[in-house]
Amino acid sequence: MLLVGCSSVKIGNDYDPSAEFERYDSFDWLDNRPGVTAEARTAGTLDTSLGRAVESELVSKGMVLDSTNPRLLVIYHLGEDDEIDTERWGYRYENVGKGWGGDIDVRAYRAGTLVLDLVDAATMCLVWRASADGAFRKDDTPKDAEERMREAVHRMLGVYPPAR
* Domain locations in the chain as residue ranges: 10-157
Give the model's pLDDT for residue 80.
64
Q: What is the pLDDT of residues 84-115, one digit of tens each?
A: 454 554 555 555 544 444 444 445 556 678 88
C-alpha 26/C-alpha 85 separation (Å) is 26
Residues in the chain, total = 164
Query: What Å distances lie between residue 5 and 108, 125, 128, 144, CA to CA?
Result: 20, 29, 20, 19
Mean pLDDT score across all residues of the chain = 76
Q: Is 37 exposed, middle or buried (0-12, 13-18, 19+ CB in 10 A)?
A: exposed
C-alpha 164/C-alpha 151 separation (Å) is 25
Its pTM stands at 0.77
Give the model's pLDDT for residue 122.
94
The answer to whether 12 and 1 are in contact (CB under 8 A) is: yes
Task: Give the contacts of 26 (CB within 8 A, at least 6 positions apart).
Answer: 63, 64, 65, 66, 69, 70, 71, 72
Q: Is 39 exposed, middle or buried (0-12, 13-18, 19+ CB in 10 A)?
A: exposed
Task: Give the contacts of 24 (CB within 8 A, at least 6 positions apart).
Answer: 63, 71, 72, 118, 120, 127, 161
Architecture label for domain 10-157: 2-Layer Sandwich (3.30)
Residue 79 has pLDDT above 50, yes or no: yes
